A and B are shown apart, each in its own frame.
Chain A
């Protein structure tokens, strides 16, 4: 890390260490918010009650998929 100055070796892609952790956490939260929000809106619209829970699960699944695709090695 210390030798990657102006003329150092090709830099690592952004997203190491704590930045990666924040990005993963952000994706998880975003998944739950996005699909939970869609489920909540559908619940209000259709008068049902289970779509918000379903949305949260779908969002988590999507977030996990995205995280594994993006940061999973191999």
Chain B
């Protein structure tokens, strides 16, 4: 329904934000050999988050004390959390050498997501496909190389593509499924789960905030609803904060599950 078909709508009407809130103009246009390497706001935000991750770990563990305090305390509890809740729980002691990767992954994804609720940033880095895709490919390459180095090239792919304990003839049916499931569906779902959650969260927050502002400034009965929406938006921010942490956790734990699966053949 357009504004013209609504006789009572005096103003231009409420314009809900759409996909354009995910598109940012180039700040610096760079093109190398036909590849677009332009820097826009999302790329800048990515640089900031990378520096932030590096800085947090550097400052947290620069002068470690036996009794941690301040930033060291925070960073140690993050490392402890990944160590106890993800690495030891999912992979076991052998998995401790992946603790640095998984911890960095968790902190990077979380801080990237956090941009969605932090003023004045208000954009989740993982709401664009590039980062989730690259991180999913990193996890894919990592678990393949873990499998190859633990079990040997041939054994790993044999175990991955021909699940043991099945009748021989059924492999004709199952091997294409295993190939797609392990090497395509895994990284794709890993990336899309994070991306879709961040897109949905950002859209909900944007629509909600724009609508709240619209109602509050409309100076009629809607203003009252706007006040209610303002209160509810605080709850939405808290919810998005929860989703930011949860999705970082899910991304990390699934990477760990895939690594664990590559370390020992299926039984």
Chain A residues within 8 Å of B, Cβ to Cβ: 1, 4-6, 11, 13-15, 18-19, 22, 25-27, 29-31, 33-35, 37-38, 58-59, 61-63, 65-66, 69-70
Pairwise interchain contact B88-A65, C-beta atoms closer than 8 A: no
Of A14, A25, A34, A65, which contacts B260 at CB under 8 A?
Answer: A14
Give every chain B residue within 8 A of A26 (Cβ-Cβ): 181, 185-186, 189
Name the prevailing secondary structure of the A interface residues: helix
Pairwise interchain contact B176-A19, C-beta atoms closer than 8 A: no
Tell yes or no: B92 within 8 A of A by CB: yes
Interface range for B? 20 to 34
Pairwise interchain contact A35-B176, C-beta atoms closer than 8 A: yes
Pairwise interchain contact A33-B254, C-beta atoms closer than 8 A: no
Tell yes or no: B46 within 8 A of A by CB: no
Give every chain B residue within 8 A of A22 (Cβ-Cβ): 189, 254
Give every chain A residue within 8 A of B88 (Cβ-Cβ): 4-6, 11
Of B177, B184, B266, which contacts A63 at CB under 8 A?
Answer: B177
Q: Which positions 56-91 of chain B face chain A at CB distance < 8 Å?
A: 84, 88-91
Residue of B nearest to A37 (CB): B180
Bound CA–CA A14/B181 (angstroms):
17
Least Cβ distance of B194 to chain A in Å? 13
Pairwise interchain contact B181-A65, C-beta atoms closer than 8 A: no
Q: A6-B88, A6-B93 are in contact. Are A66 and B186 (CB under 8 A)?
A: no
Bound CA–CA A7/B223 (angstroms):
60
Least Cβ distance of A3 to chain B in Å? 11
Residue of A nearest to B166 (CB): A69
Pairwise interchain contact A65-B254, C-beta atoms closer than 8 A: no
Give every chain B residue within 8 A of A6 (Cβ-Cβ): 88, 93
Q: A4-B89, A27-B177, A30-B184 are in contact. Are A66 and B163 (CB under 8 A)?
A: yes
Residue of B nearest to A58 (CB): B173
Give every chain B residue within 8 A of A29 (Cβ-Cβ): 181, 185, 189
Least Cβ distance of B110 to chain A in Å? 18
